[in-house]
Structure 1
Amino acid sequence: MKLDKNSTKVAVIGLGYVGLPLAVEFGKHFTTIGFDTNKKRVKELSDGVDATEELEKEDILRSKKLSISANVDDLKACDIYIITVPTPIDINKQPDLSPLIKASEMLAPFLSANNVVIYESTVYPGVTEDVCVPILERVSGLVFNQDFFAGYSPERINPGDKVRRLTTIMKVTSGSTPEVADMVDDFYQTIITAGTHKAPSIKVAEASKVIENVQRDVNIALINELHQVFNKLGINTKDVIEAAATKWNFMKLMPGMVGGHCISVDPYYLLHKSENAGFIPDLMRTAREINNGMPNYFANDFLRELILRKINPSECKILLMGFSFKENCPDIRNTKVFELYVVLKNMGLDIEIYDPWVDTKEVLGEYNVEVLTELSPNQIFDVGFLAVGHDCILEDLKGQSLQFSKDFIYDFKHISSS
């Protein structure tokens, strides 16, 4: 099919952190339907309100060719469909493709001649053509690469990042035939100012995405392990990293808890595929074990610090600062702070959580814990535990509007005093 800004109609299925920016940008060029099954989300977006705080009201309303809908019938008569639903893991840390399967089953009845379905969800190599396409064929009755076509262009959204935005991050593209690959690449070039990279196959594009996060997971695991070594040696990890980072090719990372919907999830997709192929990737698996163990490590190290400072853990009131999975972002998906909180509570500690960024109702519904988004002047805490270094929290600490009677803040990244 040929792209025509006057006639090509686009549908983006899933309006979360990935789908919304896509729908908004394509809606500046093509007639675009932004579809989501969450009616509350659709109502808010129709009014220009983005609860994820990724886009401002004017950003959404400026997309003149975009309409937001929760009505599945509005997906009829589109030419290009982009699916951006989550790809989580289950309780056994195995890939959960059910959102992707359901989205494919929902879309399939609306497919018609020459339609292109592009997947952006992070998956292991082969999911698009081996799992999703057969569903599209079976439900629609159409023939793949004859009646309809597929593409894969992995998302590269970085939640909370106000500098690296959708349009300024190079996009990997691919298609199920050489002609479709060219079309998909041209399609994304209409919105991506940073340029595109056309992969030689859908499987290559799928693999390229998943290893982006595997690589980062492994490198963070190394720093987390080194942090534990340096603690044993009585050396400040931040000081070591600052010194090492004076070499041009040193990757500067800090110890931390790896949560969120990407880095802590995606490696399990490649682990699953690798093991099914008969190869056990030890480094990837070990990295996951190290990073998964950090909430427990930090909790125990915090307890050790209290004892060394002669602070009675059973008699001190603790403020756990930060709950979202990363700094300056309201995203609470798979936040490891929850696991940290559970470990601390199970130790019998008196602890409250403070995070001005998060939606308290969302946290209560998802994790069944209460989070303070404001602190009253009469609330007194003995010690602090800085879990997520939101700028607003760091400013409160530096301005001394957040103070602790025992004059101690556990800060494993050493950022509150920098």
Structure 2
Amino acid sequence: MTLDRWCPKKLAVIGGGFVGLHTAVHAALRGVEEVVIVDTSVDVVDRINSGRKEQLHVRERYILDNWDQAKNRISASTEYSITAGAEVIVVAVQTPLKQGRIDHTPLRRVAEGLAPHLKPGVLVVSEVTIYPGGTRELLAELLARLTGFKLDSELLVAHAPERLNPGSTRWTPENIPRVIGGIGPRSLEAAVKLYQDCLGVPVHPVDDIRVAEASKLLENSFRLLNISFVNELKRSLDRMGIDVRKVVEAASTKPFGYMPFYPGPYAGGACLPKDAFMMEQATGSLLLRVARHINETQPLYYAALLLRHIRRT
């Protein structure tokens, strides 16, 4: 890495989806000379390599507004060989919830694909949401075993959980603070320099990589808990003939010690249910188990409301 700007000349992103494409565009805008993306989807690769923002599979404003300026520094491939020579690797693959279990296979495959192409001194940063200890167990130790590199000296590994606010023009990859943990002091130092000096974002370093991993799970579990709570309140207040939204609006007049959450049919998406489940599995939280049950049954409650409305009309 160049010491004057603490930026790599070549940065590789593994995963060209929502998170990975934001990372690639951000790095290119900050002056990284070559940004390469590895994705298993030929369609995703072709769309990126077309150079046309009309063809992009991610339709977020930050990407679309900056694509023309960044695209000449970005290329994509389905082959890991494109990562050869990269000084920094950012991992941004999905670990989906399948049949009641988190599928960590994509992260293991990243390690297997990367290993033949890594050089000593490389920094590998995972932005993948994972259970406490998962970055070390599923990525760092496997990479060390496959490459023969010594962790925190020849192979630097860190975790910086992704933080994106879809649709926001106020909070973008350029100003959202990032939590960073490393498997050791050298890994942490290198990752802080990457995000702070090269990518130019506020950083919050932590001395234990598991703190960084758990912080992401806490953020999304907090949201699921509160959404589930207000959804449960809606069921009870409906029976009492009280409008829960008016209750929330009234409580929101308190200028401290309160944050409004509103009811809905389901707290979904790729993150909230999965991350709350991961935190529950890691900690054994009974509160999260109940909250997830409320969330999973909430669509049935709304379906019943709709059916009653149809019958009345």
Q: Could you state the TM-score of these two structures normalised by the residue count of structure 1?
A: 0.69
2:156·2:186 contact (CA, 8 Å) conserved in 1?
A: no
* Correspondence for 2:302: 298
Does 1:271 pair with 2:271?
no
Distance 1:160 1:214, change over 3 A: same
Distance 1:3 1:255, change over 3 A: farther
Output one character per residue of 1:348-370: Cα deviation in whole Å (capped at 9) or x when no partner. xxxxxxxxxxxxxxxxxxxxxxx
* Correspondence for 1:9: 10
Output one character per residue of 1:15-38: Cα deviation in whole Å (capped at 9) or x when no partner. 111111111111132122122221
Q: CA deviation at 1:179?
A: 2.8
Q: CA deviation at 1:124?
A: 0.5
* Correspondence for 1:71: 79
Counterpart CA distance in 1 for 2:91 and 2:174 is: 18
Q: CA deviation at 1:195?
A: 1.0
Q: CA deviation at 1:164?
A: 1.9
Counterpart CA distance in 1 for 2:45 and 2:132 is: 32
* Correspondence for 1:182: 189
Aligned pairs for 1:283-362 (under 5 A) are: 283-307=287-311, 310-311=312-313
For the aligned residues, what is the CA RMSD?
1.9
Paired amino acid for 1:12: V
2:158·2:182 contact (CA, 8 Å) conserved in 1?
A: yes
Distance 1:213 1:57, change over 3 A: closer
* Correspondence for 1:127: 134
* Correspondence for 1:333: none
The one of 30, 35, 39 equivalent to 1:36 is 39
* Correspondence for 1:391: none
* Correspondence for 1:242: 249
Paired amino acid for 1:79: E
1:185·1:198 contact (CA, 8 Å) conserved in 2?
A: yes
Counterpart CA distance in 2 for 1:14 and 1:218 is: 29
Q: CA deviation at 1:153?
A: 0.2
Distance 1:221 1:58, change over 3 A: closer
2:12·2:36 contact (CA, 8 Å) conserved in 1?
A: yes
Aligned pairs for 1:209-220 (under 5 A) are: 209-220=216-227
1:48·1:58 contact (CA, 8 Å) conserved in 2?
A: no
Structure label with greater radius of gyration: 1
Counterpart CA distance in 2 for 1:268 and 1:148 is: 31
Paired amino acid for 2:60: E
Counterpart CA distance in 2 for 1:81 and 1:193 is: 17
Paired amino acid for 1:132: L
Counterpart CA distance in 2 for 1:199 and 1:300 is: 47
Paired amino acid for 2:16: L
Distance 1:185 1:72, change over 3 A: same
Does 1:51 pair with 2:54?
no
Counterpart CA distance in 1 for 2:2 and 2:188 is: 12
Q: CA deviation at 1:135?
A: 1.4
Paired amino acid for 1:145: D
Counterpart CA distance in 1 for 2:243 and 2:304 is: 18
* Correspondence for 2:93: 85
Unpaired runs of 5+ residues, structure 2, are none
Counterpart CA distance in 1 for 2:90 and 2:106 is: 14
Unpaired runs of 5+ residues, structure 1, are 275-279, 312-418
Counterpart CA distance in 1 for 2:275 and 2:239 is: 31
Of 224-233 and 141-150, deviating more is 141-150
Does 1:259 pair with 2:265?
no
Structure number with the bigger relative contact order (C-alpha 8 A, sep ≥ 6) is: 2
Output one character per residue of 1:71-98: Cα deviation in whole Å (capped at 9) or x when no partner. 321111111111000011220x222101
Counterpart CA distance in 2 for 1:130 and 1:115 is: 18
Of 230-239 and 30-39, deviating more is 30-39
1:123·1:206 contact (CA, 8 Å) conserved in 2?
A: yes
1:167·1:191 contact (CA, 8 Å) conserved in 2?
A: no
Paired amino acid for 1:110: H
Q: CA deviation at 1:4?
A: 5.7
* Correspondence for 2:207: 200
Counterpart CA distance in 2 for 1:262 and 1:25 is: 22
Of 22-31 and 64-73, deviating more is 64-73
